[in-house]
């Protein structure tokens, strides 16, 4: 019991230090602590809707479906925004938790940083159990 509490404490310490180190949770192998964090398959359904909010910033809406046989404990979609020359000028994101198998998540990614005129984007989906 004492070892399990120590493992959980160490895992929490690692997760809390992630923003300070600039890496994400997928960069850390928590299996050495006996903790299973596996990636989960989320699939985009339909098209991503792009709008401009009242501040002139892009927002992105869409639907992701959990196609895995397990429930997520955390999911995120991150958008990287580029100017017409291909320079990274901003980002937008949304997060959620607990998407059960076969269920959908209607995301709404809001811009958290924009330094210039937005032209195009790419995105990445991450989900873990």
Are 108 and 49 in the same domain?
A: yes
Mean pLDDT, the chain, integer: 79
The residue with greater pLDDT, 31 or 80, is 80
> What domain range is 52 assigned to?
38-128
CATH number, domain containing residue 90: 2.60.40.3230
Question: Do residues 11 and 28 touch, judged by C-beta distance below 8 A?
Answer: no
CA 43 vs CA 46, 103, 105, 107: distances in Å: 10, 11, 10, 12
The pTM is what? 0.69
Query: Are 100 and 79 contained in the same domain?
Result: yes
* Nearest residue to 111 via CA among 50, 63, 65: 50
Asked if pLDDT for residue 15 goes beyond 70, the answer is no
Task: List beta partners, residue 126.
Answer: 76
**Quick one: pLDDT at residue 2?**
43
Tell me if 111 sits within 8 A of 91, measured CB to CB: yes
Are residue 88 and residue 119 in the same domain, yes or no? Answer: yes
- pLDDT-derived band at 38, boundaries 50, 70, 90: low
Confidence of residue 120 (pLDDT cuts 50, 70, 90): very high
Report percent pLDDT > 70 for the chain: 71
pLDDT digits (tens, 9 = 90+) for 82-113: 999 999 999 999 999 889 998 999 999 999 98
Residue 35 C-beta-side C-alpha neighbours within 13 Å? 21
């Amino acid at each position: 019991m004492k070892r399990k509490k120590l493992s959980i404490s160490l895992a929490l310490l690692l997760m809390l230090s992630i923003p300070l180190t600039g890496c994400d949770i997928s960069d850390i192998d928590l299996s050495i602590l006996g903790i299973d964090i596996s990636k989960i398959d989320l699939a985009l359904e339909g098209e991503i809707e792009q709008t401009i909010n009242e501040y002139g910033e892009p927002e992105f809406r869409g639907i992701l479906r959990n196609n895995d046989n397990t429930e997520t404990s955390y999911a995120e979609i991150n958008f990287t925004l580029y100017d017409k020359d291909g320079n990274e000028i901003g980002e937008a994101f949304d997060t959620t938790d607990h998407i059960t198998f076969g269920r959908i998540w209607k995301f709404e990614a809001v811009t958290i940083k924009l330094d210039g005129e937005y032209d195009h984007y790419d995105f990445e989906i991450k989900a873990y159990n």
